[in-house]
Structure 1
Amino acid sequence: MKQGTKLLELDNGYHLFTRKEGEGPVKMLCVHGGPGGNHEEFENFAQNLNDKGVEVYTYDQLGSFYSDQPDFSLEENKHYLTLDYYLEELEEVRKKLGLDNFYFLPKKSLV
């Protein structure tokens, strides 16, 4: 993935906003708290690592900010608000971004 933003299509058909800042051998995936947070929680952090050889990847979880917004009041969408789903989504994002060896920085309620 080149520097900048892109929409990542999940296997379930929804799209997530992703952002990459910096270039280098060290990879870091930052995940906001949720539901309700967004990638902007890490913007200053990522910008401060630009010249340190760190590639910082962020994304908005399903239902957050620039990512697709399912209607969570519908019964068929309620499973998207579970920890099991968030972990599946995180693993799919990791794979689709091509991150194998990386640092993981979660924020708030994910862990």
Structure 2
Amino acid sequence: MMPLVNGEYSIMLNGISHWVKVDGDENNTVPLILIHGGPGGNHYTFERTAGPLLSKKRTVVYYEQRGCGRSEKPDWDEDYTIDLLI
């Protein structure tokens, strides 16, 4: 389990490194998990616009899916199955 402490993290899921960022841990709230749109999306814009406003009152966890944004890209198209994305 990843600690909910402010910062950027890399977590391994099914052999792929995924980017995660926690902001607003000092609020001690139930985390708001943000998953970007896509396919191929990221959090670049949101984490600089509405994200900082949310993290003033909530614990916010940004997650970028495999092959998107700052997460690692699989070598094979077969590694983008629904089961692996979920």
TM-score bin, normalised by smaller chain: 0.7 to 0.9
* Structure 1 alignment gaps of length 5 or more: 72-76, 88-111
Asked if 2 retains the 8 angstrom alpha-carbon contact of 1:35 and 1:63, the reply is no
- Counterpart among 56, 59, 62 of residue 58 in structure 1: 62
How many equivalent residue pairs? 80
With the length of structure 2 as denominator, give the TM-score of the two structures. Answer: 0.77
> How big is the shift at 1:22?
0.7
Alignment-derived partner of residue 7 in structure 1: 10
Matches within 5 A, 1:87-98: 87=86
RMSD value over aligned CA atoms? Answer: 1.7
| Residue identity in the other structure for 1:32 | H
Helix, strand or coil for the counterpart of 1:51? coil
- Counterpart among 30, 36, 50 of residue 45 in structure 1: 50
Asked if 2 retains the 8 angstrom alpha-carbon contact of 1:35 and 1:81, the reply is no
With the length of structure 1 as denominator, give the TM-score of the two structures. Answer: 0.62
| Residue identity in the other structure for 1:8 | I
- Counterpart among 68, 71, 81 of residue 67 in structure 1: 71
Matches within 5 A, 1:22-33: 22-23=24-25, 24=27, 25-33=29-37
Residue 69 and residue 35 in structure 1: after superposition, are their counterparts in 2 closer, same or farther (change >3 A)? Answer: same
Distance, in Å, in 2 between the alignment partners of 1:63 and 1:29 is 18
Q: Would you tell me which structure has more helix in proportion to its own residues? A: 1
Identity across the alignment (%): 34
Alignment-derived partner of residue 21 in structure 1: 23
